[in-house]
Chain A
Amino acid sequence: MATFMRTCREVAALLVAREDRALGLADRLALRMHMAICDTCPRFERQMLNLRNSLQQWRNYTESDDLA
């Protein structure tokens, strides 16, 4: 079990890294286990998802510039 324990710092690194590369099985498991018991990291994950979503909207905007 000990090998699946990660600090918030390590989990934050995985949450950033997965935007650009596929995580290995051990990292995916460790991430899931950490997220289930941590109050703080899910907040960081929401920021990263917000960023991903914002960048996608920006990409669409660069192509049409259709904003009110």
Chain B
Amino acid sequence: MLVSTRRREQVTTRLFILPLAIVFVALFAIPVARSLYFSFTNFGGYSTKVSFIGFANYTALFSNPTVLTGLSFTLVYAIGQALIVTVIAIPLAIALNRRFVGRNFVRAALFFPAVPSAVILGLVWTFILAPISMGVVNSVLGELFGVGPVPWLSTNLLARLSVIGVGVWSQVGWHAMLYLAYLQSIPTDYYDAADVDGASSMQRLFRITVPLLAPAMTVSIVLLVVFGLQVYALPLALTGGGPGYATYTMSQTIIQLGISNAQYGQGAALSILFLLMVALVLVVQVTILRRREARLR
């Protein structure tokens, strides 16, 4: 009797896991396997017969200038915004941890840009950076310094910097909140002990606060880089990938090749490279940053 209830329970708990297992197989395992398979075939394009072509798709990618530009901008964006956000978010979090008038308003205002879609944020910034009189940045610069309209979105370098700048603006507040959550979990005893020992405020910052934020840095930087590599909507809304291909992203290239041009083989090869990059970033960052955490402890 007892044995049979146990058995029935085993069967039902298995049934509880089943739907998620189906999701895993249908939306992850099979598609990844098929991407891998396509990446070694000439599937799509003009041929009807599918045959293995080895690494030809991969070598074709590296001789395609559009792919390379997209790859390089995506890397620059992912690393650039991660660095800048980290450098701004930590001092911001330390300031937010103090008591001051209007703190709740400040926290909400800083966090809010993380809430709307990147598409809408990109569109909003196209008005602000526009070269005509309604573009508020240029009209203010013109009035104050008498400089002509700065082509924020239409030269290669400035367009790239603008995309990174808007990316930083939209994320810095919520990463500051993430650091703040860790700061609030640091016991005040540490600071009290430091005061007794006569530590300066700089020593308190670099000997207590920053080391104890190491785990937060692991989480924050991994999130920034992994999501940074997947950037798609923001540059598309802000610059449309241009001027030329200056702010083209890897995601845009995958969609272009694999959906619009029906070059499934090459698109799949690029998506497999993308997966390897994300996996590499995860492994490297987690090991390096965890080691750093251990050293600082």
A interacts with B: no
